[in-house]
Structure 1
């Protein structure tokens, strides 16, 4: 079951010139940043071990194809240079994976490490999202990066594989992280083609995307968020929202309204 709310920790680095604080700029402009995997801070996040097919694997696929499709298949994957052809296909798959855009959230609003790592040591704020508007799916944590057989993708490319299963396997692989990140309790929202119209700025490794302000349930101030930061956001926010406060308990973070 999906949690009722998702949370996004946002840093504020100084309170002298808010026009340079990207988290504040985004909040006041009803926009968020979606990132590609190459923009993540973890080198192994969404990294997938792509297993190349053998010549025998390709031969088996070729034998299943009708004559008309077999000739086309051989042009793309067969011949003395079959290894280089497979490498070209792998390069295209990597390029595709590198272009996917994600918005990462969590189901925890009182995580001390998250406040420390992602909200500039509690000086930033945390956005509480209505989870029915943020279609994020849970990240899987494991000891090794996931593997994916390219032969499964090649089969779908020539009309033999199960597109739905392969798509689900790829999406699962791309929302897998190593166990050391499990404290984040992350969920991941992948941008769909239908959302292209919401993009206001796109760069190689990220995109700025518009959202509806009513999707935000509250803004939670960090334990060290300055009064100047709070005042600036409250005065410039163009919609009504509930404000909450994170405070330092004896050994944990406490969220109060």
Structure 2
């Protein structure tokens, strides 16, 4: 499998290439306005229902302020014990997902393997949206080498997955996020880690994006720049509209830092809207 990283020709892209680094940006700053969205199923497990019946006291005025902070409900005595706990779990789960999304970082690629229906490398939209209309370039990585480097650099504080494209977000159940310990206190369920929660929220996107064939890495490391070994990069494909001076600079970087990697060009086919990949002369 190959990972593709489309880039515009700019200082950040050149610096990262020269230093064999990848930028992990905030999940909440990605270009999809629905990024990190998921549905939350409020229904409680039998264990949580039992906890609600035994320990929740919605009719106690002394507890109103606590319940309001947890649920936003002004008059908790109007709800049943179970309804009140459902509201509280939903509120806490929503805040937890929001907090995890805010501290997580993401680095995205497109992928290509034998099962791929199309080769993203020759997709006009990718070159238009992410490589400045053939004025940028695309880095081609060996999937296995790069993936191992990411996990090592983040001290295994990362998870990678292919994005699934569907008509609605995935669902998380509050009963999978919370449980009750021996003292009947509400706790985060240890079987569902923060990685998995964010991965569930970030693993699906609208079908409008399916042409990207995205694979993404979610990291909880505080590192924004991740190193990869030089041999992880096996090829660079340069857009045909890139000015010659910029092409020469890119070639110099590649020959100095990645002499093993091939350099190719992405060109427009005559009399069509298709692209073709050719060796650089």
TM-score with structure 2 setting the length = 0.69
Structural RMSD (CA): 3.2
Q: How far, CA to CA, are the matches of 2:6 and 2:180 in structure 1?
A: 39
Hey, what's the Cα distance between the residues in 1 that align with 2:45 and 2:143?
Answer: 46
Within 2, Cα distance between the matches of 1:49 and 1:56? 21
Give a deviation string over 1:119-144, Cα, whole Å, max 9, x none.
01110000001010233421000112
The 1:88–1:169 alpha-carbon spacing in structure 2 relative to 1, beyond 3 Å, is closer
Aligned with 2:102: secondary structure? helix
The secondary structure found in structure 2 opposite 1:183 is helix
Match of 1:83 in 2: 71
Structure 1: segments with no counterpart, 5+ residues: 13-19, 64-69, 200-206
CA distance in 2, matches of 1:244, 1:138: 26
Measure, in 1, the Cα distance between the counterparts of 2:211 and 2:180. Answer: 36
Is the CA contact (8 Å cut-off) linking 1:148 and 1:170 kept in structure 2? no
Query: Could you tell me how far 1:234 is from its partner in structure 2?
Result: 2.1
Residue 133 of structure 1 aligns to a residue whose secondary structure is helix
> Aligned with 2:178: secondary structure?
helix
Equivalent-residue separation in structure 2 for 1:98 and 1:167 (angstroms): 13
1:96 to 82, 100, 107: 100
> Aligned pair 1:130/2:142, yes or no?
yes
Question: Quick one: distance in 2 between partners of 1:49 and 1:29?
Answer: 40
Deviations 1:199-226 (A, max 9, x none): 3xxxxxxx22222221101110012122
Report the count of equivalent residues.
225
Q: After the TM superposition, which residues 28-39 of structure 1 pair with which residues of structure 2 at under 5 Å, given as runs?
A: 28-39=18-29
1:44 offset after TM fit, Å? Answer: 0.8
**Residue 127 of structure 2 aligns with which residue?**
115
Question: For residues 100 and 160 of structure 1, what CA distance do their matches in structure 2 show?
Answer: 18
Stretches of structure 2 lacking an aligned partner (at least 5 in a row): 58-62, 73-87, 112-119, 148-159
Equivalent position SS for 1:187: strand
Measured at CA, do residues 165 and 209 of structure 1 come closer, stay the same or move farther in structure 2, by a change above 3 Å? Answer: closer
Deviation string, structure 1 residues 158-202 (Cα, Å, up to 9, x no partner): 679571599656523312100111111111122265xx5xx3xxx
Q: Secondary structure in 2 aligned to 1:141?
A: strand
Kept in 2: contact 1:152–1:166 (CA 8 A): no
Match for residue 232 of structure 2? 215
Q: Are the aligned partners of 1:47 and 1:145 in contact in 2 as well (CA < 8 Å)?
A: yes
| Counterpart for residue 205 of structure 2 | 177
Distance in 1 of aligned mates of 2:277 and 2:50: 59
Change in Cα spacing, 1:21 to 1:156, as seen in structure 2 (3 Å) is farther
Greater radius of gyration (CA): 2
